[in-house]
Structure 1
Amino acid sequence: MSSLFSVDWRELFVPNLSLVELFVRGSIVYLVLFGVLRSLPSRQLGSLAITDLLVVVLFAEAAQNAMARDYTSITEGAVLIGTVIFWSYALNWLGFRFPAVQQFLNPPPLLLVEKGKLLRRNLRRELITEDELMSQFRQQGIEELADVKAAYMEADGSVSVIPEKPRSVAYRTLKRDVVTKGAE
């Protein structure tokens, strides 16, 4: 009964591994996984698909042992979490300070449509079908490819669209007509 309430404080807080080894292991795994994920296309158009979630879960499982072998103390877990946070912040800081690093971390927008014409080479590069792209256009209120002046795949996987005829002009005209009629 006493074993139910006893705590091994030494095992709870004293690491079994060197903290420097934990930092080095965590750093290597983080940077390798970052490189692998960075090299994959942004194909999911800003959404998280089941396959993406599966990749993240499997990466986490595979990376756990590579980062720390069999760690058991809270201190070791805290060092690994701190390492991941450190690299996340460090890469964002480097990207903010140095434009060349920013271009590596977040690729520039990729032109998918220019003057109503699909750039099939760029669609293939991102593994996007014409149907998927047209679905994105419809969600933004655009029915025809000819109505698209330009469309870009952004670094986050979303598609930004510049319509051939800006909607704001039609909206302003409509609003002006409504205001004029309301004043009569």
Structure 2
Amino acid sequence: MFEITLSSFIRIVTVGFLAYVGLVFFLRISGKRTLTKLNAFDLVVTVALGSTLATVLLSKDNTLLEGLTAFALLIAMQYVMTFLAVRSKGFSKFVKSEPRLLYFNGTFLEDTMKKERINEVEILQAIRNQGKGSLEEVQAVVLETDGSMSVIQGEPGNTLANVKSKIDI
């Protein structure tokens, strides 16, 4: 349980260093968008990259070249998905969810909250996390495409233009 051989230690350090350098290289050439978390697919890629790195480090059954190939494949797929999403509204709708209005001008939007499986306590937590002590300070709360909640104070203006809602904003 607490044993490690010299050869496995050297393998972990060597493969770990080279896999890390390879991952950083792939991330640098692929651009900033690769590690953003703007939607569920982005999160999946980030988690998969971490899982792949761990597998390459700890599994003797996977070679460094296999790990680097997996990194390249994941990053290439991320690139293709975002490339298509930027150029095709239909594909973008398929890959990304729409932001949803959960709270607006003193009203919790119960139907949307049920559909998104969000309860009032979670909305209040998001409001507190923004340092707000009162609902009167908040005009809107939006469930974003990445699962985070945006809290808007003051008049929301055109920031709610693409937010799906059953009420007139």
Give TM-score, length-normalised by structure 2: 0.50
- The question of whether the paired residues in 2 share the 8 Å contact of 1:116 and 1:145 is answered with yes
The sequence identity of aligned pairs, in percent, is 30
- Shift in CA distance, 141/78, structure 1 to aligned 2, threshold 3 Å: closer
2:140 aligned to 131, 150, 161, which one? 150
Paired residue type of 1:106: K
- The question of whether the paired residues in 2 share the 8 Å contact of 1:111 and 1:119 is answered with yes
Distance 1:164 1:72 in 2: 54
1:105 aligned to 91, 95, 111, which one? 95
Structure 1: runs of 5 or more not aligned: 5-36, 39-47, 49-55, 65-69, 167-184
2:129 aligned to 130, 136, 139, which one? 139
Does the alignment pair 1:114 with 2:95? no
| Partner SS, residue 111 of structure 1 | strand
In the TM superposition, residue 109 of structure 1 has moved relative to its aligned partner by: 0.9
CA root-mean-square deviation: 3.4
In the TM superposition, residue 113 of structure 1 has moved relative to its aligned partner by: 0.9
Does the alignment pair 1:126 with 2:92? no
Greater relative contact order, per chain length (Cα 8 Å cut-off, separation 6+): 1
Paired residue type of 1:114: F
Does the alignment pair 1:94 with 2:84? yes
The number of residues matched between the two structures is 108
Distance 2:85 2:138 in 1: 31
Please give the residue correspondences for 1:28-67 in structure 2 after superposition, counting only pairs within 5 Å: 60=51
